[in-house]
Amino acid sequence: MVRVLATGTFDILHPGHLLYLSKAKSLGDELYVIVARDSMIKHKPKPVIPEAQRLAMVKALHMVDKAQLGSEKNIFEPLCRIKPDLIALGKNQFFDERNLESELKDHGINAKVVRIHSFKECELCSSASIIRKIMERYGKSN
């Protein structure tokens, strides 16, 4: 059994998330997902959808075996319990694979880190582009 872990914000779900999670799942037998806490998202705009709802939506996806919220203190803490064999990073996740592997080792987690380069190209394949479309359509009358 190879346990794969994927992580992300998963703000407004779109086919880019589906591609990332399907590719992650295909690397092993079971897919665990950690959904980022609202309080831990500091490098990009705050999500529109609150963390509990983002988690509920990710849990409803057929390729996801288990999903939970991340820690608000230490990102390594849930990993110690999940014990993933493999961590699948998305194309835009800012960690360096080798540095992360070595940091994981320092926390007693022997997981391989791989980058998923597949990327969905479509008009509304990002939460930002969905927000942009809503603003274009409804912004004028506000």
Contact range with a second copy by CB under 8 A, out of 26-34, 44-52, 75-83, 92-100: 44-52
- The rounded distance, in Å, linking the Cα atoms of 44 and 40 is 10
- The rounded distance, in Å, linking the Cα atoms of 125 and 4 is 23
Amino acid letter, 112: K
Are the C-beta atoms of residues 92 and 57 closer than 8 Å to each other? no
- The rounded distance, in Å, linking the Cα atoms of 96 and 8 is 15
If one asks whether residue 48 binds a second copy (CB under 8 A), the answer comes out as yes
Query: Which uninterrupted H or E stretch holds 8?
Result: strand 3-8
- The rounded distance, in Å, linking the Cα atoms of 64 and 77 is 20
How many chain residues touch a second copy (CB under 8 A)?
Answer: 28
Which is nearer to a second copy, 94 or 138 (by Cβ)?
Answer: 138
- The rounded distance, in Å, linking the Cα atoms of 46 and 18 is 21
Which is nearer to a second copy, 60 or 80 (by Cβ)?
Answer: 60
If one asks whether residue 137 binds a second copy (CB under 8 A), the answer comes out as yes
Q: Which of 40, 82, 100, 124 binds a second copy (CB under 8 A)?
A: 124
The least CB distance from residue 3 to a second copy, in Å, is: 19
Which is nearer to a second copy, 20 or 28 (by Cβ)?
Answer: 20
If one asks whether residue 66 binds a second copy (CB under 8 A), the answer comes out as no
- Binding residues for a second copy, per CB under 8 A? 12-15, 18, 48-50, 53, 56-57, 60-64, 122-124, 130-131, 133-135, 137-139, 142
